[in-house]
């Protein structure tokens, strides 16, 4: 049985504990042995390489180098990394090494919450998005600074809400992407502001596919 670690905490507005339980439920359905921790100390006192997947769910806050370095090294070694929204894409804002590994960083959500926008699936026949069609979300629309090395699987078009960015014209912003970090696979989805959004069938399926894809295969464990 493959093993997954979810570390949850940070800004409570993202309902980290509840979202962690939802993600854990998906992983358990996929036959993962799941550990949830609410302490970053876990990252420095455990051997992270025993896990096949690590799921950050920790918005903002700070992390020490003693906690971050083992995480970076574990993914380089081959452990998978997967997460969503601010729990992975807006963690530890001062840590550029973390952002480099993730492949992007949140910078804005014009219009704030309750913006209705479309998520456009790049290729519904690709394994990470198979069976998922374009869909609408009423939530925060994440504007990201994104690593050009990522592979994009879904996008959303800006602007929807007005703002100083709108004069630049239309931009297709990545919503779902993948990349590699050493031997590890990295998966990110910018959806999931609160538990209600994470429970959307499309988001649940994206996370199911993404987490199982990112996890180290049994042959490499």
Q: Residue 39 falls within a domain, yes or no?
A: yes
Mean pLDDT, range 81-106, rounded to an integer? 98
What is the domain range of residue 181? 2-214
Residue 1 to residue 217: CA distance in whole angstroms: 11
Three-state secondary-structure class, residue 218? coil
- Indicate whether 220 pLDDT > 80: no
Nearest CA to 176 out of 105, 119, 114 is that of 119
Residues 6 or more apart whose CB falls under 8 angstroms from that of 68 comprise 43, 92, 95, 97, 98
pLDDT in tens, 136-166: 999 999 999 999 999 999 999 999 999 999 9
Q: Is residue 107 part of a domain?
A: yes
Does this model's pTM top 0.85? My answer is yes
Is 108 within a domain?
yes
pLDDT at 217: 83
Per-residue pLDDT reduced to its tens digit, 102-141: 999 999 999 999 999 999 999 999 999 999 999 999 999 9
The pLDDT score that the predictor gives to residue 218 is 73
CA 112 – CA 13 distance, rounded (Å): 13
Q: Is 164 among the domain residues? A: yes
**φ, ψ dihedrals at 49, nearest 5°:** -75, -5
β-strands 2-10, 32-37: how paired?
parallel
Q: Is 92 helix (H, G, I), strand (E, B) or coil?
A: coil
Question: Is 18 part of any domain?
Answer: yes
- Could you give the CA distance from residue 204 to residue 184 in angstroms, rounded to a whole number? 22
Query: Quick check: 22 pLDDT over 80?
Result: yes
Chain-centre distance for alpha carbon 147: 14
Compute the distance between CA of residue 119 and CA of residue 175 in angstroms, rounded to an integer: 7
H helix or E strand, kind and range, residue 119: strand 115-121
Task: Assess whether pLDDT exceeds 90 at residue 221.
Answer: no
* Ramachandran class of 50: left when φ > 0, alpha when ψ lies in -120 to 50, beta otherwise: alpha
219 located within any domain: no
Task: Annotate 40-67 with b (16+ C-beta within 10 A) or e (fewer).
Answer: bebbbeeebeebbbbbbbbbbeebeeeb
Residue 105 is part of a domain; what is its CATH number? 3.40.50.880
> Does residue 169 lie within any of the structural domains?
yes
Domains in the chain: how many in total?
1
Rounded to an integer, the average pLDDT of 54-60 is 98
Measure the CA–CA gap between 114 and 196, rounded to whole angstroms.
12
In a domain? residue 117: yes
Cβ partners under 8 Å of residue 169, min gap 6: none
């Amino acid at each position: 049985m493959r093993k997954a670690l979810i570390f949850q905490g940070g800004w409570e507005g993202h309902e980290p504990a509840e979202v962690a339980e939802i993600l854990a439920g998906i992983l358990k359905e996929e036959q993962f042995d799941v550990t949830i921790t609410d302490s970053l100390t876990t990252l420095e006192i455990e051997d992270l390489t025993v896990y096949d997947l690590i799921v950050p769910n920790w918005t903002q806050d700070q992390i020490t180098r003693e906690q971050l370095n083992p995480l970076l090294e574990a993914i380089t070694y081959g452990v998978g990394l997967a997460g969503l929204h601010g729990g992975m894409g807006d963690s530890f804002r001062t840590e550029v090494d973390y952002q480099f590994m993730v492949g992007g960083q949140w910078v804005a959500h014009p219009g704030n919450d309750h913006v209705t926008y479309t998520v456009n699936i790049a290729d519904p026949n690709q394994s990470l998005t198979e069976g998922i069609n374009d869909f609408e979300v009423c939530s925060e629309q994440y504007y990201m600074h994104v690593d050009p090395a990522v592979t994009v699987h879904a996008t959303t078009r800006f602007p929807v809400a007005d703002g100083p960015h709108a004069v630049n014209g239309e931009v297709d912003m990545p919503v779902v992407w993948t990349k590699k970090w050493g031997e590890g696979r990295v998966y990110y989805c910018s959806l999931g502001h609160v538990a209600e959004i994470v429970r959307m069938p499309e988001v649940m399926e994206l996370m199911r596919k993404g987490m199982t894809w990112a996890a180290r295969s049994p042959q490499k464990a």
